[in-house]
Amino acid sequence: MSETETRDFIRQIIHDDLESGKHSEIVTRFPPEPNGYLHVGHVMSICLNFGVAAETGGRTFLRLDDTNPGKESREYVDAIKRDVHWLGFDWEDRLTHASDYFGQLYESACRLIEMGCAYVDSLSADEIREHRGTLTEPGRNSPYRDRSVEENLDLFKRMRAGEFSDGELVLRARIDMSSPNMNMRDPALYRIRHIPHQNAGDEWCIYPMYDFAHGLSDAYEHITHSLCTLEFEDHRPLYDWFLDQLKPAHRPRQIEFSRLNLAYAVTSKRKLNTLVDEGIVTGWDDPRMPTIAGMRRRGYPVAALREFVTRAGVTKKDKLIEMGVLENCIRETLGEQAERRMAVLRPLKIVLTNYPENKVEMMEAMNHPGRPELGTRELPFSRELWIEQDDFMEDAPRKFFRLKPGGEVRLRFGYIIRCDEVVRNTAGDVVELRCSYDPDTRSGTGSSDRKVKGTIHWVSCEHAIDAQVRLYDRLFNEANPNAVDDVHSVLNPESLEIVDGKLEPALAELAAGQAVQFERLGYFCTDEKEDSAAVRVINRIVTLRDSWAKLEKQAMQNQNQVV
């Protein structure tokens, strides 16, 4: 594939700007507001901003867009930094805050006033809304719109000095109250808020609005391409208007792309916050959350996330991407990397009646079927073993090739066994199977080359490690929960199931952050927060197969019909 074929429209623009000499170096920024944890949508923005700069030898700023004190906190700042680093990107010495520029922004606002391009309004918030008009009706000028430059400057300085209360005055741009673009109808530039700021302390009681701060911060940092999501498209005329009036030495260019939305997940910090606040999940890093912290704790590999956003692509079309696409990226990455182990999640005991009582054999188990260089390990085999409950069926159909009364199955890396007797408790539940093994069928070395159709996994009872295994599923039953107001109505009540599993002894050594495949079950890792020497706590990262694929496809099709 040639380079041009893989270039998205933003990379094409950047390529052209370098080739034409418009820019000699590309400078981008990733500008999250520290009002929540980053989510899978942000992964796309991070990979794009840091990616295009790295690919062209440019630079990227991590800028905390902290113009809205009250909703922002240090905890979020720290989480954002950790998440960006974890994804493998480095801002080096370019960690900035919109609040670093409060002084310059204030000066710029004063200049707009001096140029007659901004005024202090005394209308209340409600009155301003009333004057704004609608999409079909022009707005009306505020009676305070024609205050003199001197009066405006005086009032603005006194706003800053703390002489007025919240909402009493607001600084607005003087643009056009009849503009068809509502954003151009004299938008607010500064408002009064008597609350301290997580970065700037209590130096300020007036704070700039996002639109005003953003473009100018881009200019101060010499950002060449300010990449943002499509909801800012209608703000671009305003972005350009500030630059046209103030003519900073460097002029950045805003380019919009579509948001990445993941089916069956919410990608809005506000909605994620609701899940945390209401205790629907255990925190921002709950392994079911589509936050970067949650996905890390769940065990999603960085390479898979980066591959996922590459597959999603940078476009201007709305996207709701199937969870299966992300899960397939994870399966592909882990299928290659993860060593195989044996574990039983819903144990049923079998006793091999013809196997000596105190005998233990060490079976040789391959660590990775496709990568012999990863070697083998020893797997203890004994008279009593755990197998999976659903690998046994009493009234089995003809095609059931696992264990059934009188039937035979191979134990992986072990022997062929036959089920001779089913033991029940007084309630009639199956509690144990009495089986016999064929000593000539030992895997690899047995004298018999007898074959049976099914192979199942197992763990020796005596050697098993107990573990709490957490099986995660989608948080929502609805393909696009972003569009639903009440998230409660679409929660999946089965998003977490906890089982008492039995692990092969080698899993005692499973390191934090190391993913393994439990044969026939899926990919798993220890829980970075709750796993301990006393209790092994294991997260299921993803199943081996996508049991949702069909359902999801159907739901997405229905959705497309509605849109």
Site residues, ligand ATP (CB under 6 A): 31-33, 41-42, 44-45, 228-229, 259-260, 267-269
| Nearest residue to ligand ATP on Cβ basis | 41
Q: What are the backbone dihedrals phi and psi of residue 306, each rounded to the nearest 5 degrees, phi first?
A: -70, -40
CB of residue 228 vs ligand ATP: minimum separation in angstroms? Answer: 4
Would you call 397 exposed, middle or buried from its count of C-beta atoms within 10 A (0-12, 13-18, 19+)?
exposed
Nearer to ligand ATP, 45 or 333 (CB): 45
81 counts as catalytic = no
Q: Do residues 298 and 471 lie in contact, with contact meaning Cβ atoms separated by under 8 Å?
A: no
286: its two tokens: 């709950």
Nearer to ligand ATP, 45 or 142 (CB): 45
Nearer to ligand ATP, 65 or 478 (CB): 65
Nearer to ligand ATP, 261 or 526 (CB): 261
Nearer to ligand ATP, 40 or 184 (CB): 40
Distance CA 256, CA 226 (A): 8
List helix spans (H) across 170-265: 210-220, 236-246
| CA nearest to 96, candidates 75, 55, 67 | 67
CB of residue 267 vs ligand ATP: minimum separation in angstroms? Answer: 4
CB of residue 46 vs ligand ATP: minimum separation in angstroms? Answer: 8
Q: Do residues 271 and 483 lie in contact, with contact meaning Cβ atoms separated by under 8 Å?
A: no
Strands in 59-64's sheet, in edge-to-edge order, are 27-30, 59-64, 95-97
Nearer to ligand ATP, 62 or 525 (CB): 62
Distance CA 543, CA 500 (A): 17
CB of residue 248 vs ligand ATP: minimum separation in angstroms? Answer: 20
CB of residue 252 vs ligand ATP: minimum separation in angstroms? Answer: 13
Q: Do residues 215 and 187 lie in contact, with contact meaning Cβ atoms separated by under 8 Å?
A: no
CB of residue 321 vs ligand ATP: minimum separation in angstroms? Answer: 10
Q: Which of 147, 259, 502, 540 is catalytic?
A: 259
Q: Roughly what angle, to the nearest 10 degrees, separates helices 210-220 and 236-246?
A: 60
CB of residue 384 vs ligand ATP: minimum separation in angstroms? Answer: 51
Q: Do residues 439 and 406 lie in contact, with contact meaning Cβ atoms separated by under 8 Å?
A: no
CB of residue 64 vs ligand ATP: minimum separation in angstroms? Answer: 9
Residue with tokens 């070395």: 445
Distance CA 360, CA 357 (A): 9
72 counts as catalytic = no
Longest dimension (CA), the chain: 102
CB atoms within 10 A of CB 484: 14
- Read out DSSP for 252-298? -EEEEEPPEEETTS---HHHHHHHHHTTSSSSTT-TTS-BHHHHHHH
Nearer to ligand ATP, 96 or 267 (CB): 267
CB of residue 400 vs ligand ATP: minimum separation in angstroms? Answer: 45
Q: Do residues 196 and 69 lie in contact, with contact meaning Cβ atoms separated by under 8 Å?
A: yes
Q: Which of 33, 332, 384, 432 is catalytic?
A: 33
CB of residue 472 vs ligand ATP: minimum separation in angstroms? Answer: 21
287: its two tokens: 């392994």
* 3-class secondary structure, 532: coil
Q: How are beta strands 408-411 and 455-456 bridged, if at all?
A: parallel
Nearer to ligand ATP, 223 or 510 (CB): 223
For residue 300, give every residue at least 6 positions away whose Cβ sits within 8 Å of its Cβ, in sequence order, or none. 330, 541
For residue 405, give every residue at least 6 positions away whose Cβ sits within 8 Å of its Cβ, in sequence order, or none. 394, 419, 422
174 counts as catalytic = no
Nearer to ligand ATP, 314 or 416 (CB): 314
Distance CA 47, CA 45 (A): 6
Q: Which of 160, 191, 269, 412 is catalytic?
A: 269
Nearer to ligand ATP, 320 or 403 (CB): 320
Residues in the chain: 563
Q: What are the backbone dihedrals phi and psi of residue 23, each rounded to the nearest 5 degrees, phi first?
A: -130, 145
549: its two tokens: 């694929």
Question: Which residues are catalytically annotated?
Answer: 33, 259, 269
